[in-house]
Structure 1
Amino acid sequence: MSKAFPIPSPADWRAEAEKALKGKPLEGLVHLDADHLTIRPLYARANATEAVFAPRASDADGRAWDLRTQVEGDDPEAVNAAVMADLEGGAASVILSGAVLADSEPLGRALEGVALELAPVALDAGLDGPDAANALAVVAKGSPRAKLRFHMDPLTAFAATGGSPRTIEEHLSLAANTAARHAGAYPDATFFLATGRAAHEAGASAGQELGFAVASAVALLNAAVEAGLPIERALAGTVLGVSVDAEYFDSLAKVRALRLIWRSICAAHGHDVPAVIEARSSRRMLAAKDPWPNLLRLTAAGFAGAVGGADAVVLDGFSRAQGRPDAFARRQARNTQLILMEEAHLGRVADPAAGSWFLDHRTRDLAEAGWAEFRRIEREGGLVASLRGGALQQRILAARTTGKQKLADGAVHLVGVTKFVDADVRSVSVEAAPASALAANGDRCPPLTPLRWSEAFEGDAA
């Protein structure tokens, strides 16, 4: 006959915790995060919030999420070889960036042999997004069911570089009109990427990143409706982007929180359109001097994206902080996801975090923090006005300063950088990448300059 285990009460836990602390106050176990949200040492039925269920829409019995790789390059043949290697090696889709996006002719050569009806192709073209979208539409001509992911996202480029060739309103309008022009020909296409990546990479808190992403989505939706795109099609044509890093509990809660916020956005427009979320690994968490521990960080990020319910997960090459990842680094990024998907079976449960008192509480906290930041941005006139005025940048700077201070004080550590440092670092190879072009003077805002947390400890690292 089995014996039931006793269920300890909060009072039982408190007594044991006070004994372990040896006279130190129990309040020392309570922490505030960068959004000034309270993180408690214990979550139980007594302090639980309403349960959260935020699964991805795709079938968990199949390939639960889209294993997406990033291929960058200027030579069409080299890009084609990399794309085919990734797709044949287990990837389901690719993101392209580089000079191959400049015109349909080099892009067509780069996509030679790719079945666009089966393998989604996404673009990362910054402010040149509409031109790249037009090029991809020409390449896909004759394939009306092509799964094109135009990923037009002028606001991220504007915020990160601090400028744009035209006014940012013109860039938004151009992206929206491009979407309206191709919507009929490609019913399975998505048009926009609304992400807080620029904020995240500049040191933003989770709430600030979520607020930026939602404000970006609203700006894109407004431009799309003005261009004549029906709101339901605009909602369905918007992909939400979120950054995931080695802080996997917060990262997976952030993915779930974004799905909750999107429900509110859709409800405000009178529709129920499931969120499509693309999770990309954080670059601010990567180390340059010793890139090998980045493999651990990227695995944690991939875990967070998968368990959090992202529809597509993109992992950088572990050598990214030193330069453009080579074939070996891209293979490692791809295989990391394959192991998470096909050996760890992370996608077999619709929403693995559901029912965890801590993760449900954290999901709601981050959703509320993101919504509060979004409303703050809207009160400032919307994302464009907030960026131009610099108000959002000032809030992100405060979070960035706090994060750097925690590392300097030893409150948090980076494996291989501030703790467990390898004295004999193995070198890695990277591919040459062209220097980024500066934005023209059509419009300006204070830039959200990206950082890496490890920079202050790396000296003359590459």
Structure 2
Amino acid sequence: MSNSPFATPSPADWRALAEAALKDRDLASLVHLDADGLDLRPLYAAANAGEAVTAPRPSHADGRAWDLRILVEGDDAAALNALALAQLEGGAASLLVRGGVTADSDTLVQTLAGVQLELAEVALDAGLDGATAADALAVAAKGSPRARLAFHMDPVSAFVGQGGGARPLADYLELAGNTAARHAEAYPDARAFLASGRVVHEAGGTAAQELGYLLANAVALTDAAGRAGLSPAQAFQRMVLGVSLDQSYFDGLAKVRALRLMWRTLTRAWGAESEAVIEARSSRRMLAARDAWPNLLRLTAAGFAGAVGGADVIVLDAFSRAAGMPDAFALRQARNTQLILMEEAHLGRVDDPAAGSWFLDTRTRDLAEAGWAAFRQIEREGGLVASVEGGGLQSRVAKAREALVTGYARGDAHLIGVTRFVDEDPRPAHVTDEADDAPPPPDYRCEPLSPLRLAADLETGETAR
């Protein structure tokens, strides 16, 4: 048996084989452009890639690689309390609470009865009522300085997501800043702000648009915190960055890594360099309702992207969420998907496993640069508030949304179970109807970034087999 080493092929060797396989087609036909106009090449090597990128998550979450967070939402405090306790006992590390239970302290206290806030972090998703919900959570924590709280105030996303509010957008930002400053002494470790790009993603925006919006959101929140008396360093300490992940796991993990690089650059420019705390939530625009079971594959891919990309917190939706409010089984699957990724696949055992991949490092760097360009465009328009009120942001996202929907409609992209491998008689998933929580008509309006669900039209029309 020969002990000679394997030959190392050169780019020229690959080129010769590729040209032979393509026959009359040009090599350039293998290069594709993504939604941001970034090129995706067929081969990445030392000859066409830059230096390695390193973007590991800075710390472990109480001995785990990341914080396994479960979303519990609804208006019934007693039912949500039982659900929350079951999820924590089953392996979840923290909770994200959404719905009518965040409206006042009495209801939120009932919802969190038995939850040890010094051990299990509780985050909120209360939209434009974020300041009120933050006050309610502060009451529920009973003044314990060790309570792990994430108020998650994100007024700009809530305002543009529903097309306005009862007061001007600038007033919501001021309220968020003042609320954060008011609770800073009692809860010095609380995370007051969520600078999320989720509203852009769910409306059909590109990865670069999401990242650019996210940074502009963080700047707007930091400015509001400064006017309330908090320094940039204090604001950064109290901020979580929110990103959405869909089934495109390579792009997803590169997006998380790119965000960490961008945040380092932004905070360094403020003279208060800070490590990013990134909460990755699964995309709802990718979920199907007619046949919910393939969503398990998409959600697993999103969880994989968050874990390998280095997210500090991962939240996966229930697979049946597009059809209605999930039952206990669906929520258990959302939790167990993460547990399997963490404890059986051991995805968190290696810090930044994507580092050193020519493709993933190049993709990370390209997304960071494109996201930074999108951020600078918003800043040139006068900042996020001016961009939202003037409609510049929304017009760019609308173009991306149209291109995305068109791509799926003509078959350039596919959803398993919707446009490919369609089950003619899908097994139903048990859900209950979602409460109609439509807000009253806003007094102060802007062009909305309405959420998109890609499968909605495809499920009702003719689908490709």
TM-score w.r.t. structure 2 length? 0.97
- The superposition leaves residues 212-267 of structure 1 with CA deviations (integer Å, 9 ceiling, x where unpaired) of 11110000000001100122110110100000010000000000011111011111
Counterpart-to-counterpart distance in 2, 1:104 and 1:454: 38
- Whether the 8 Å contact between 2:61 and 2:67 is mirrored in structure 1 is no
Deviation sequence 1:286-314 (CA, Å, 0-9, x none): 11111110000000000000000000000
After superposing the two structures, state which structure 1 stretch, 312-321 or 13-22, moved more.
13-22
Partner of 1:206: 207
* Structure 2 residue identity aligned to 1:202: A
Tell whether 2:309 aligns with 1:301.
Answer: no
CA distance in 2, matches of 1:190, 1:13: 50
Task: Give the 3 Å change call, closer, same or farther, for CA 317–185 of structure 1 in structure 2.
Answer: same
TM-superposed deviation, 1:25: 1.5
What does residue 50 of structure 1 align with?
51
Q: How far apart are residue 460 of structure 1 and its match?
A: 8.1
Contact 2:249–2:301 (8 Å) recurs in 1:
yes
1:398 matched residue in structure 2: 399
In structure 1, the residue corresponding to 2:119 is in which secondary structure? coil
Aligned to 1:386: 387
Alignment partners' CA distance in 1, 2:92 and 2:120: 9
Q: Does 1:283 align with 2:292?
A: no
Instruction: Check whether the contact 1:60–1:349 (CA below 8 A) recurs between aligned residues.
Output: no
Q: Which AA in structure 2 matches 1:185?
A: A
> Contact 2:191 / 2:240 at 8 angstroms: preserved in 1?
yes
Give the structure 1 partner of residue 194 of structure 2.
193
The unaligned stretches of length 5 or more in structure 1 are none
Map 1:122-271 → 2, pairs under 5 A: 122-271=123-272
- In the alignment, what sits opposite 2:324? 323
SS in 2 for 1:87: helix
Structure 1: distance between partners of 2:62 and 2:194: 27
Tell me how far apart the structure 1 counterparts of residues 438 and 356 of structure 2 sit (CA, whole Å). 47
Deviation per CA, 1:56-87: give whole Å up to 9, x if none.
Answer: 11138930100000001211110100100110
Equivalent residue of 1:123, what SS?
Answer: strand
C-alpha separation between the residues in 1 aligned to 2:440 and 2:279?
A: 26
- What is the DSSP-based 3-state SS (H/G/I as helix, E as strand, rest coil) of the residue aligned with 2:244? strand
Instruction: Please state whether the residue corresponding to 1:211 is helix, strand or coil.
Output: helix
- Which moved further from structure 2: 433-442 or 423-432? 433-442
**Structure 2 residue matching 1:240: 3-state secondary structure:** strand
For 1:7 and 1:47, the matched residues in 2 are separated by 17
Paired residue secondary structure (2:240): strand
Q: Could you tell me how far apart the structure 2 residues matched to 1:205 and 1:121 are?
A: 30
What secondary structure sits across from 1:143 in the alignment?
coil
CA contact (8 A) 1:406 1:412 kept: yes
Any gaps of 5 or more consecutive residues in structure 2? none
How many residues are paired up?
Answer: 461
- Any conservation in 2 of the 1:61–1:348 contact (CA below 8 Å)? no
Higher mean displacement: 351-360 or 397-406: 397-406
TM-fit CA distance, 1:103? 1.1
Corresponding residue for 2:274?
273
Overall identity of the aligned pairs, in %: 65
Alpha-carbon shift at residue 273 of structure 1 (Å): 1.1
Paired position in structure 2 for 1:419: 420
Does the residue aligned with 1:358 lie in a helix, a strand or coil?
Answer: helix
Change (3 A) 1:168 1:208: same
Does the 8 A contact of 1:60 with 1:350 survive in 2? no
Q: Out of 216-225 and 325-334, give the one that drifted further.
A: 325-334
CA shift digits 1:317-351 (9 cap, x unpaired): 01111112221111101000000000000000110
CA contact (8 A) 1:60 1:348 kept: no
**1:49 alignment partner AA:** G
Partner amino acid, structure 1, of 2:366 = D
* One-letter identity of the residue aligned with 1:275: A
- What amino acid sits opposite 1:244 in the alignment? L
3-state DSSP of counterpart to 1:94: strand
- Deviation sequence 1:95-114 (CA, Å, 0-9, x none): 00111111111111111111
Q: Contact 1:144 / 1:187 at 8 angstroms: preserved in 2?
A: yes
Which amino acid in structure 2 is aligned with residue 395 of structure 1? R
Distance 1:282 1:302 in 2: 10
Q: 1:119 to 1:61 in 2, by over 3 A?
A: closer
Q: CA RMSD in A?
A: 1.4
Q: Which residue of 2 aligns with 1:431?
A: 432
- Residues 307 and 353, structure 1, Cα contact 8 Å, conserved in 2: yes
In the alignment, the residues of structure 1 paired with residue 300 and residue 115 of structure 2 have an alpha-carbon distance, to the nearest angstrom, of: 28
Q: For 2:281 and 2:367, how far apart are their aligned partners in 1?
A: 18
- SS of the residue 1:193 aligns to: strand
Distance 1:192 1:324, change over 3 A: same
Which amino acid in 2 is paired with 1:436?
D
Amino acid at match of 2:429: V
2:32 aligns with 31
Cα distance in structure 1, aligned partners of 2:82 and 2:60? 31
Note closer, same or farther for the CA distance 1:60–1:387 as it changes in structure 2 (3 Å cut): closer
**8 Å contact from structure 1 (residues 163, 439) kept in 2:** no
* Secondary structure at the counterpart of residue 192 of structure 2: strand
In structure 2, the CA distance between the partners of 1:387 and 1:339, relative to structure 1 (3 Å rule), is: same
CA distance in 1, matches of 2:5, 2:456: 52
- Check 1:141–1:60 CA distance in 2 against 1; reply closer, same or farther (3 A cut): closer
Q: CA deviation at 1:429?
A: 1.2
- C-alpha separation between the residues in 2 aligned to 1:257 and 1:413? 26
| 8 Å contact from structure 1 (residues 60, 347) kept in 2 | no
Q: Secondary structure at the match of 1:53?
A: coil
Asked if 1:108 corresponds to 2:109, the answer is yes
Offset of residue 379 of structure 1 = 0.6
Give 2:358's aligned residue.
357
- Is residue 256–residue 309 contact of structure 1 (8 Å, CA) maintained in 2? yes
Please report the TM-score for the alignment, with normalisation by the length of structure 1.
Answer: 0.98
Instruction: Give a deviation string over 1:112-147, Cα, whole Å, max 9, x none.
Output: 111101100000000000000000001101421101
